[in-house]
């Protein structure tokens, strides 16, 4: 426990302790579902609850069999493949579109900056179910509903705002005289983009890309509307698994998702710290 | 046109105007011819349009009207990356993600020079600015003065014939600034490029330049050598902006085209050189530099005498500044060398001040701050 300043009254001490306790409880409340899932995924029995053996830390009560189950089942393997394929393709599209949009929007001669920005960010604000329904009708017209292309384009649209935001933030500290310096030294605009602008905003681009990837990786509503059986992703498979199956394979998948998300989060934090360091020289 | 003329007009601004908002002109009718190899400074208060002129020459801003020529050819149709002009930015603009050597190599790699040549030139450039040991460092690891020298070396390494410098020493402290002024002059003499230098620091302009164009309000007030600017300023703005000057209000009584006679508020009549003197009967300004204004010795006769009340003196070190107030409220300053003769005066004592007629300048009254509308 941290020491209280000596001038604290007993009530201030109690108050501060209460605030800290509440903060820890809120954190626990937020983390509990995740924390429960991880040990349960190692359950040796096909139950969703802690067995007596598990509570007694009996090694035999734990097993990796639900993880083996994932590898053995075609529908899970397909879902994993789909999630990565759709996620990566959508991320590439979102990153290219979001980065170029952010660069264009930060140029002083760009008219209607705020309005275009608001439009670009709207997929983040509009309820997802509405976006999904709209996409369903629109993509059906274009005959790309129920195809990989449809899901990829939809996820790219959902991921682009994140890239716009992170690249925009990276550009806010960008010194445009560097671009002028580069042009003045004889470098053409495209060369300048790859040698000067891109290296300096790369942390922003990468963290935007990671956000876009996670968005696609987590997404289930648009997939429910747009994906056919061939395009089932992990969350979609879990969604049906919840009703169709009654074994903890789903918890093993969830644990894998938590680990992947955690790694992505750590990467983002690392990039953020690095870009901060780069900015302060 | 003979080669001689072309060399005299290597860089030409011809009636250049610039407006950012299509309403007000930031640069109004700017014309300037720059000789090949010359060191020209644009000097003016901040916001007077100096940077804008450089940016138009470098190609980063459009010219609203008028022409800019280099070596007899208009540059407006040439992209900035084809103009081959070196530039030093106020905040260095070094690439933070590249080492010093990579920064210096950048313009050479853009020009696809062979690697061995790039290496040699980078080495030479580092030696030129005395930073031999710093090639492997990043800009963030250098001091302000070192960064400035790298920026200078980078602007010169691809051997541009014109180098633009926009307040390159603005962020440095006084000692370093003086050292860098010397370095820049040395490189200019050694390499012979045409330099266009921007500053708002008149001392810097006076010490470095072959010619100075004094800017105000988007207009060149005077373009001349440092000594001409200092000794015969063309108008009261230049007189005030370059060095220190005492301004005494008066009215023109007569003018023989060389010497003007001016009556002051208390009826004193004094004489001064006609520099930019308004017509007879109009109000005018008499400018006398503090070092040309003297405290009169009692009992002696002088050409020009005004009386003023002593306020205080300021000890500067090598000189002493005496401050006086005239009966119309105008303040005057006299600069006296700090030697045995520096007089001691009681505060409030009436004192006579004097100057040699050819050291007083009869000038226009500065215009009131009327915003000038765009044409
Ligand atoms: N990109 C720009 N857009 C609009 N106005 C500008 C821009 N750059 C400069 N100005 C305006 O033009 C005027 C002259 O600026 P500048 O050329 O930078 O002056 P200086 O370099 O002499 O301080 C200023 O009033 C400034 O506000
Ligand atoms: Mg400027």
A179 touches chain B (CB under 8 A): no
- Choices 3.40.50.300, 3.40.50.2000, 3.30.465.10, 3.90.110.10: CATH for B3-231: 3.40.50.300
Instruction: Kindly report the protein residue whose alpha carbon is nearest to atom 6 of ligand 1.
Output: B20
Most A CBs within 10 Å, among B88, B91, B95, to test the A interface: B95
Q: Reading across the β-sheet that carries B11-18, which strands appear in turn?
A: B27-34, B11-18, B65-70, B73-74
| Torsion of Cα atoms, B238 then B239 then B244 then B245, to 10° | -150
Q: Measured between alpha carbons, how far is B304 from B356 in angstroms, rounded to an integer?
A: 7
Q: What is the pLDDT of residue A34?
A: 86
Q: What is the pLDDT of residue B371?
A: 36
**β pairing state of B194-199 and B162-166:** parallel
Tokens 């790039």 appear where?
B118
Residue B5 banded pLDDT, cuts 50, 70, 90: low
Ligand 1 neighbour B50 (Cβ under 6 A)? yes
Phi-psi region of A241 (alpha: psi -120 to 50; beta: other; left: phi over 0): alpha
Residue ranges per structural domain of chain B: 3-231, 244-363
Using an 8 Å Cβ cutoff, are A237 and A249 in contact?
A: no
Q: Determine the atom of ligand 1 nearest the C-alpha atom of B215.
A: 22
Domain B244-363 belongs in CATH node 2.40.50.140: yes
Q: What is the pLDDT of residue A1?
A: 52
Tell me what the mean pLDDT of segment B227-252 comes to: 88
Instruction: Kindly report the protein residue whose alpha carbon is nearest to atom 25 of ligand 1.
Output: B47
Q: Determine the atom of ligand 1 nearest the C-alpha atom of B53.
A: 17
Q: Measured between alpha carbons, how far is A213 from A158 in angstroms, rounded to an integer?
A: 10
User: Looking at beta carbons, which residues of chain B come within 8 Å of A186?
Assistant: 81-82, 84, 107, 110-111, 158
Beta-carbon count within 10 A of A154 CB: 29
Q: Measured between alpha carbons, how far is B77 from B263 in angstroms, rounded to an integer?
A: 56
Residue B364 banded pLDDT, cuts 50, 70, 90: confident
Crossing angle (nearest 10°) for helices A234-244 and A198-218: 20
Q: What is the pLDDT of residues A6-46, one digit of tens each?
A: 888 999 999 999 999 999 999 999 999 888 888 888 888 88
- CA of A72: how far to CAs of A61, A69, A240, B39, B53, in Å? 22, 5, 18, 79, 72
Spacing of C-alpha B116 from chain mean position: 41
Q: What is the pLDDT of residue B372?
A: 35
Q: Measured between alpha carbons, how far is B2 from B313 in angstroms, rounded to an integer?
A: 57
The minimal CB distance from A183 to the residues B80, B140, B154 is found for: B80
Q: What is the pLDDT of residue A224?
A: 92
- CA of B97: how far to CAs of A117, A166, A196, A206, B364, in Å? 29, 19, 8, 17, 53
Q: What is the pLDDT of residues B171-190, one digit of tens each?
A: 788 888 888 899 899 989 99
Phi-psi region of A103 (alpha: psi -120 to 50; beta: other; left: phi over 0): alpha
Tell me what the mean pLDDT of segment B96-110 comes to: 95
How is residue B155 written in tokens? 């602007």
Q: Measured between alpha carbons, how far is A123 from B352 in angstroms, rounded to an integer?
A: 81
Cβ contacts from A onto B, under 8 A: 62
| Direct distance between the N- and C-terminal alpha carbons of chain B, in angstroms, rounded to an integer | 33
Ligand 1 neighbour B22 (Cβ under 6 A)? no
CB contact under 8 A, B60 and A187: no
Q: Measured between alpha carbons, how far is A62 from A44 in angstroms, rounded to an integer?
A: 5
Q: Measured between alpha carbons, how far is B286 from B272 in angstroms, rounded to an integer?
A: 7
Using an 8 Å Cβ cutoff, are B353 and B324 in contact?
A: yes
pLDDT at B94 over 90: yes
Mean per-residue pLDDT over chain A, rounded:
89
Per residue, the 3-state secondary structure of chain B, as one string, reads CCHHHHHHCCEEEEEEEECCCCCCCCEEEEEEEECCCCEEEEECCCCCCHHHHHHHHHCCCCCCEEEEEECCEECCCCCHHHCCEEEECCCCCCCCCCCHHHHHHHHHHHCCCCHHHHHHHHHHHHHHCCCHHHCCCCHHHCCHHHHHHHHHHHHHCCCCCEEEEECCCCCCCHHHHHHHHHHHHHHHHHHCCEEEEEECCHHHHHHHCCEEEEEECCEEEEEECHHHHHHCCCCHHHHHHCCCCEEEEEEEEEECCCEEEEEECCCCEEEEEECCCCCCCCEEEEEECHHHCEECCCCCCCCEEEEEEEEEEEECCCEEEEEEECCCCCEEEEEEECCCCCCCCCCCCEEEEEECHHHCEEECCCCCCCCCCCC
- CA of B277: how far to CAs of A203, B250, B253, B352, B363, in Å? 63, 11, 11, 25, 5
Find the ligand nearest to B46 CA: 1
How is residue B19 written in tokens? 């407006």
Share of chain B above pLDDT 90, in %: 47
Q: Measured between alpha carbons, how far is B188 from B166 in angstroms, rounded to an integer?
A: 16
Instruction: Kindly report the protein residue whose alpha carbon is nearest to atom 17 of ligand 1.
Output: B49
Q: What is the pLDDT of residue B2?
A: 52
How is residue A52 written in tokens? 């007596």
Q: What is the CA radius of gyration of chain A?
A: 24
Most B CBs within 10 Å, among A184, A190, A191, to test the B interface: A184
Q: Nearest CA to CA, how far is A133 from chain B (Å)?
A: 45
Q: What is the pLDDT of residues B246-292, one digit of tens each?
A: 888 888 988 888 888 888 877 788 888 888 888 888 888 888 999 99
How is residue A279 written in tokens? 């900015």
Residue B214 banded pLDDT, cuts 50, 70, 90: very high
Using an 8 Å Cβ cutoff, are B321 and B294 in contact?
A: no
Q: What is the CA radius of gyration of chain B?
A: 25
Ligand 1 neighbour B44 (Cβ under 6 A)? yes
Domains of chain A: 69-280 (1.10.3720.10)
Using an 8 Å Cβ cutoff, are A162 and A98 in contact?
A: yes
Q: Measured between alpha carbons, how far is A89 from B351 in angstroms, rounded to an integer?
A: 88
* Residues facing B73 on adjacent strands: B70
CB contact under 8 A, A186 and B158: yes
Q: What is the pLDDT of residue B370?
A: 38
Q: What is the pLDDT of residues A49-87, one digit of tens each?
A: 888 888 888 888 888 888 998 888 888 999 999 999 999
**B67-89 burial: b if 16+ Cβ within 10 Å, else e:** ebbbeeeebeeeebbebbbbbbb
Q: What is the pLDDT of residues A153-190, one digit of tens each?
A: 999 999 999 999 999 999 988 899 999 999 999 999 99
Q: What is the pLDDT of residues B287-322, one digit of tens each?
A: 899 999 988 887 777 888 888 899 998 888 888 999
Q: Determine the atom of ligand 1 nearest the C-alpha atom of B166.
A: 21
Q: Measured between alpha carbons, how far is B284 from B265 in angstroms, rounded to an integer?
A: 12
Cα of A37 from ligand 2 centre, angstroms: 61
Q: What is the pLDDT of residues B38-65, one digit of tens each?
A: 999 999 888 889 999 999 999 999 999 9
- CA of B10: how far to CAs of B27, B37, B225, in Å? 21, 9, 18
Least confident of A21-30, A241-250, B118-127, B305-314: A241-250
Smallest Cα–Cα separation from B194: which of B118, B60, B87?
A: B87
Per residue, the 3-state secondary structure of chain A, as one string, reads CCCCCCCCCHHHHHHHHHHHHHHHHHHHHHHHHHHHHHHHCCECCCCCCCCHHHHCCCHHHECCHHHHHHHHCHHHHHHHHHHHHHHHHHHHHHHHHHHHHHHHHCCCCCCCHHHHHHHHHHHHHCCHHHHHHHHHHHHHHHCCCCCHHHHHHHHHHHHHHHHHHHHHHHHHCCCCHHHHHHHHCCCCHHHHHHHHHHHHHHHHHHHHHHHHHHHHHHCCHHHHHHCCHHHCCHHHHHHHHHHHCCCCHHHHHHHHHHHHHHHHHHHHHHHHHHHHHHHCC
């Amino acid at each position: 426990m941290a020491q209280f300043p000596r001038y604290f009254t007993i009530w201030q001490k109690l108050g501060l302790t209460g605030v800290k306790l509440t903060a820890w409880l809120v954190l626990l409340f937020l983390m509990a579902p995740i924390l429960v899932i991880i040990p349960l995924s190692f359950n040796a029995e096909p139950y969703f609850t802690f067995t007596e053996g598990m509570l007694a830390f009996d090694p035999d009560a734990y097993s990796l069999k639900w993880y083996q189950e994932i590898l053995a089942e075609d529908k899970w393997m397909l879902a994993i493949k789909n999630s990565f394929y759709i996620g990566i393709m959508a991320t590439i599209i979102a990153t290219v579109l979001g980065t170029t949009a952010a660069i264009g929007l930060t140029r002083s001669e760009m008219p209607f900056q705020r309005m275009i920005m608001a439009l670009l960010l709207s997929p983040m604000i509009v309820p997802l179910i509405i976006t999904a329904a709209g996409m369903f009708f629109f993509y059906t017209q274009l005959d790309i509903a129920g195809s990989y292309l449809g899901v990829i384009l939809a996820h790219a649209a959902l991921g682009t705002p994140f890239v716009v935001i992170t690249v925009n933030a990276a550009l806010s500290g960008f010194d445009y005289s560097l671009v002028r310096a580069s042009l003045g030294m004889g470098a053409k605009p495209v060369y300048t983009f790859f040698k000067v602008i891109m290296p300096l905003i790369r942390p922003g681009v990468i963290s935007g890309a990671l956000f876009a990837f996670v968005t696609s990786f987590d997404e289930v509503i648009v997939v429910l509307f747009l994906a056919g059986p061939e395009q089932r992703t992990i969350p979609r498979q879990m969604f049906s698994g919840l009703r169709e199956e009654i074994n903890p394979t789903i918890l093993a998948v969830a644990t894998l998702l938590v680990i992947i998300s955690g790694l992505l989060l750590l990467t983002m934090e690392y990039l953020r710290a690095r870009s901060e360091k780069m900015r302060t020289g | 046109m003979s080669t001689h003329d072309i060399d005299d007009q290597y860089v030409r601004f011809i009636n250049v105007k610039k407006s950012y908002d299509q309403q007000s002109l930031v640069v109004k009718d700017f014309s300037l011819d720059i000789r090949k190899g010359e060191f020209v400074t644009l000097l003016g208060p901040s916001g007077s349009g100096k940077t804008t002129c450089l940016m138009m020459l470098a190609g980063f801003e459009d010219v609203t009207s008028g022409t800019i020529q280099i070596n007899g050819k208009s540059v407006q149709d040439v992209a900035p990356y084809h103009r081959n002009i070196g530039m030093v930015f106020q905040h260095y603009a070094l690439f933070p993600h590249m080492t010093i050597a990579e920064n210096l190599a950048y313009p050479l790699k853009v020009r696809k020079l062979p690697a061995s040549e790039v290496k040699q030139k980078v080495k030479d450039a580092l030696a030129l600015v005395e930073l031999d040991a710093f090639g492997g460092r990043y800009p963030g690891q250098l001091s302000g003065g070192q960064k400035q020298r790298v920026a200078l070396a980078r602007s010169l390494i691809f051997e541009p014939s014109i180098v633009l410098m926009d307040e390159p020493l603005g962020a440095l402290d006084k000692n370093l600034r003086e050292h860098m002024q010397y370095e820049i002059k040395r490189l200019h003499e050694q390499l012979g490029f045409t330099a266009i230098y921007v500053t708002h620091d008149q001392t810097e302009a006076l010490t470095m330049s072959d010619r100075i164009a004094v800017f105000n309000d988007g207009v060149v007030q005077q373009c001349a050598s440092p000594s001409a600017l200092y000794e015969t300023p063309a108008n009261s703005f230049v007189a005030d902006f370059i060095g220190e000057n005492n301004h005494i209000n008066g009215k023109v009584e007569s003018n023989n085209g060389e010497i003007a006679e001016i009556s002051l508020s208390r009826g004193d009549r004094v004489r001064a050189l006609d520099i930019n003197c308004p017509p007879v009967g109009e109000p005018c300004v008499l400018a006398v530099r503090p070092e040309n204004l003297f405290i009169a010795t009692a009992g002696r006769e002088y050409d020009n005498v005004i009386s003023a009340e002593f306020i205080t003196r300021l000890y500067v070190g090598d000189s002493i500044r005496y401050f006086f107030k005239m009966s119309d409220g105008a303040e005057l300053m006299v600069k006296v060398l700090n030697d045995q003769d520096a007089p001691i005066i009681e505060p409030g004592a009436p004192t006579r001040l004097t100057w040699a007629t050819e050291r007083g300048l009869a000038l226009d009254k500065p215009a009131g701050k009327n915003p000038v509308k765009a044409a």
